[in-house]
Structure 1
Amino acid sequence: MKPVIALVGRPNVGKSTLFNRLTKSRDAIVADFAGLTRDRHYGNGRLGKREFIVVDTGGFEPDAASGIYREMARQTQQAVAEADVVIFVVDVRAGVSAQDHDIATYLRRLGKPCVLTGNKAEGMQESAHLAEFYELGLGEVLPVSAAHGQGVRSLAERALDAIGWQPEEEGDGDAEARNVIRLAVAGRPNVGKSTLINTWLGEERLVAFDLPGTTRDAISVPLERQGQKFELIDTAGLRRKGRVFEAIEKFSVVKTLQAIESAHVVLLLIDATQGVTDQDAHIAGYILESGRAVVVAVNKWDAVDDYERQLLERSIETRLSFLKFAPMHFISAIRRQGLGPLWTSLLQAYKAANCKMPTPVLTRVLLEAVQFQSPKRSGMFRPKLRYAHQGGMNPPVIVVHGNSLEHVTEAYKRFLEGRFRKEFNLAGTPLRIEMKTSSNPYADKSGS
């Protein structure tokens, strides 16, 4: 799983600018979940083959007594608790402050890997101003300029090296060799994730262990069913060995993102007694964005009456309309109802995500679709779709070649998606269709 880097520091030292540099302003996710304020931002970063998650926090005042500053401090403490390494950002030009000392004392007490970096250090790499930051007791200060991008790569390398993390090689480990399916169970707190896993295991409690290379709270559980080996990734293990911050709901954004990223298939669990919430929609959106195969299960189905069931079904159709390709099951984990068909859909979703689609068959389906319904004309030209081939798996990618394909409408792409899904039985997996227009060899030649 991706390691987590938390950016910590007092206000206005440039944490958000550094966050944008580390994530390159791509895939930044605002943690807009119930119970969490919006000053925590999550984004994906990459350094060569090494990927990581960056958490941006608000200004940190460890000893804030009340008000918004106290809430911001709790947010930052939670971010630090779930991080693998902390980057403590200070302002070189402003010098060491009493607040910097308070934060340094807090970080030293935790004993978590920490990298001290002095921001706004453009032109001051050899300045004596850097020396005063050694009194914080966190070792060498690494000068950077987040605004200009100076030293940011070295900072990321230092942070990842502090935890000794390296990416796994392709096909590394025994999981791939044993054909193990990684199944993540995602959802809000108290929807029955642990109950479902315990039911699958046949145990009274969750039997878990930490896999090498994962963060300390990433809980993995091995399971074998009808000869197929699974690795269950549980996102419910949020009880920390240390303090639990009462202001934060027991829901970890980071753990859910990591579980989704590392899984082959994601089971999105919804509580029938509470309906589809904003958190459910956010998680579903990230699953779709990550391109993971997904199955939706509505738990506690036995606890609602017929009228509530009808309302819930309509709510799912409306709020999760973008997951229409995902099989949906109504289950009761505690009563073991509906679990057999659920396993069937999970396996089907995995097979669909890794489906091999021969070029001749794809091209035949494409041409039959065009013959049934031609793409809409754009001006004097009508897009001409010639052939298709597979461009990737998990999720499946279909590349369509032809002329003037930039004019193909989104509605027609959905029409093609439906034809391809029906032909290859692609239930449970996102499908991406890319249009590649052939170049005109005479476009740059003027007539004589």
Structure 2
Amino acid sequence: MGLPIICLVGRPNVGKSTLFNRLSHSRQALVSDFEGLTRDRQYAEVLLDNDTQTFATIIDTGGLTNKNNLVDSSIQGQVLNALEESDIIYFIVSSRDGVIGLDLEIVSRLRKLKKNIILVCNKAEGLNPALAAEFFELGLGEPMLISAEHGQGIADLIDTTLPLLPKVTIDEIVEVEGITVAVLGRPNVGKSTLINRILGQERVLVMDFPGTTHDSIYIPFEHEGQKYTFIDTAGIRRKRSTHEKVEIFSIIKAIDALERAHVVILVLDAQVGVIEQDATLLGMIIDKGKALLIVINKWDGLDDYQKQEVKRKLEIKLSFINYASVHYISALHAFGVGKLFTPINQSYQNAGEQHSTSVLNKILEKANQDHQPPPVKGRRLKIKYVNQTDVFPPTFTFHGNHLQNVPNAYERYLKNFFINALQLTNTPIKIKYKSSDNPFRDRKNILNARQIGKKRRLMKFVKKR
């Protein structure tokens, strides 16, 4: 049995994401005065009560409306899916707005689910009981007054929730482990569609216009016994095209997802090709040293000539990142999606593998035989040995003399040589240098009486000239 699930439901801008962040002790969900910010459902495992070690999964959902447009209809579908899997529902209303018609409509839908519903009256700073009076007409019993933003009333809400939770022992709780895969790309290249195809369900909201995804959505998943966590991120645009504060926060969270990932899937649009912003994203991924797969989406929309042209241009524009494999897919029609698991697993294994010092030094010996280190400032570099000092990415430290100014060309040669020799795929390597210290540095040479006399005679001779 998994953890009990608590679903946070309500109309837009009543504080669902603020309460989600308060319960999860995080800033996982984006919060702003911007109505309708949350669109996908966001999950977090939380410790509700430390004394009884009671854990639960909470779900943040988008705001329910009575509008009949594409976005709101899709958000409603996401909310209904969350309600189906929940054990307890927090129906969140705003004490500042009072009871409005939309609250009554939502209550009538929730009653049909026949689940435990707790009426949560948010934005009730000071917890004045008079604020709760009009909410009794919703027919859900006594409202729980809270202020999610200031943390007021949260303890009472948890105390009311605990008796309603299905019993789960601590032994049944399993830590989420596995390969963390971040899906990055520009807006509207098909990132969410790709994740939905991988999962086999409409887990994240998909629309045919840019900017649908705001949050970075963390989704646990298991495939053939291997656990994964896929991260669907907001599309990253050029800085000068980013105006709204919400979008800036979304990009910050996408970059944070990049930091956390073991493997990155960069999604490109086959019909557009590689543009300046794609190159910028590639630069970010390279700087972080992440294992990388490049996925060319919407491949089915091209004819044979266009496909050849795209491949030719990719070879030119992606030549600086030759360690990453390129995969051609159609996320919409699931073409080529199932083949991504093998390179993902291989990339994770390569990026986290430890190599013995003896093997590395044999490779170094061959590298030196094929191409000796060049002289720098009249001194030839001397690399004595190498060892691995870190993983994700594999980090090799080279020890020797005069290694402070290794030429970039020779460093690229070493990287490529080691990648080929170790048969690493889709993962870069990082190189560090450590030069031997001069044992006589900062040691003053003390002259004896004979040497002092010789020095004085020499100085007299020089002055006479």
TM-score under structure 1 length normalisation: 0.55
Corresponding residue number in structure 2 for 1:121? none
**Secondary structure of 1:405's match?**
coil
- Is 2:165 the partner of 1:206? no
Shift of 1:316: 2.8
Cα distance between partner residues in 1 of 2:299 and 2:351: 28
Cα separation, partners in 2 of 1:175 and 1:423, compared to 1, 3 Å: farther
Q: CA, structure 1 residues 405+250, in 2 after alignment: closer, same or farther (shift >3 Å)?
A: closer
Other-structure match for 1:180: 178
Give 2:298's match in structure 1, choosing from 300, 306, 310: 300
Question: Where does residue 441 of structure 2 map in the other structure?
Answer: 443
Q: Secondary structure at the match of 1:199?
A: helix
> Cα offset for 1:200?
1.4
Question: Which residue does the alignment assign to 2:375?
Answer: 377
Paired amino acid for 1:416: L
- Give 4+ residue runs of structure 1 displaced > 4 Å after superposition: 173-176, 245-251
Summarize the Cα distance change of 1:263–1:175 in structure 2 as closer, same or farther, 3 Å threshold. farther
Q: Is 2:409 the counterpart of 1:411?
A: yes
Residue number in structure 2 paired with 1:331:
329
Alignment-derived partner of residue 191 in structure 2: 193
**% identity of equivalent residues:** 41
Cα distance between partner residues in 2 of 1:331 and 1:184: 17
Q: Indicate if the aligned counterparts of 2:235 and 2:251 stay in contact, CA closer than 8 A.
A: no
Matches within 5 A, 1:34-433: 175=175, 179-203=177-201, 205-206=202-203, 217-236=215-234, 252-433=250-431
The amino acid of 2:203's aligned partner reads: L
Select between 351-360 and 245-254 the one with higher mean Cα deviation: 245-254
Once residues 256 and 430 of structure 1 are traced to their aligned partners in structure 2, the CA distance between those partners, rounded to angstroms, is 21
Cα distance between partner residues in 1 of 2:399 and 2:377: 20
Q: Secondary structure at the match of 2:346?
A: helix
Distance 1:77 1:285, change over 3 A: farther
| Distance in 2, Cα, partners of 1:52 & 1:312 | 40
Q: Distance in 2 between matches of 1:306 and 1:247?
A: 42
Q: Distance in 2 between matches of 1:366 and 1:320?
A: 28
Report the Cα distance in structure 1 between the residues aligned to 2:391 and 2:292, rounded to whole angstroms. Answer: 15
CA distance 1:313–1:247, change in 2 (3 Å)? farther
- Assess if the C-alpha contact under 8 Å between 2:400 and 2:434 holds in 1: yes
Given residue 403 of structure 1, which amino acid in structure 2 is its aligned partner?
A: N
* Matched residues, number: 282
Give CA deviations for 1:268-327 in whole Å, capped at 9, x if unaligned: 011101111222222222112222211111011111123322332343334433322111
1:243-271 Cα distance to aligned partner (Å, 9 max, x none) = xx999989942232122122111110111
Cα RMSD (Å) = 4.0
Cα distance change of structure 1 residues 252 and 182 upon mapping to structure 2, 3 Å threshold: same
Q: Which residue of 2 aligns with 1:68?
A: none
1:123 paired residue number = none
Query: CA separation in 1, counterparts of 2:400 and 2:174?
Result: 42
CA distance in structure 1 between the partners assigned to 2:436 and 2:311 by the alignment: 44
Distance in 2 separating the partners of 1:335 and 1:419? 39
Looking at structure 1, the residues matched to 334 and 249 of structure 2 have their Cα atoms a distance apart, in angstroms, of 25
Distance 1:251 1:303 in 2: 33
Residue equivalent to 1:95:
none
- Distance in 1, Cα, partners of 2:409 & 2:364: 15
Question: Does the 8 Å CA contact 1:189/1:250 hold for their aligned counterparts?
Answer: no
> Does the 8 Å CA contact 2:181/2:263 hold for their aligned counterparts?
yes
The answer for unaligned runs of 5 or more in structure 1 is 1-50, 54-75, 83-108, 110-137, 139-160, 163-172, 209-215, 239-244
C-alpha distance in structure 2 between counterparts of 1:444 and 1:236, whole Å: 54
Q: 1:431 to 1:301 in 2, by over 3 A?
A: same
3-state SS of 2:327 partner: strand
CA contact (8 A) 1:218 1:237 kept: no
Q: Is the 8 A contact 2:216 2:234 kept in 1?
A: no
- Deviation, 1:228, is 0.3
1:375, distance to aligned residue in structure 2 (A): 0.9
Unaligned segments of structure 2, at least 5 residues: 1-25, 39-95, 97-124, 126-149, 152-172, 206-213, 237-242, 448-465
Give yes or no for contact 1:325–1:427 (8 Å, CA) kept in 2: yes
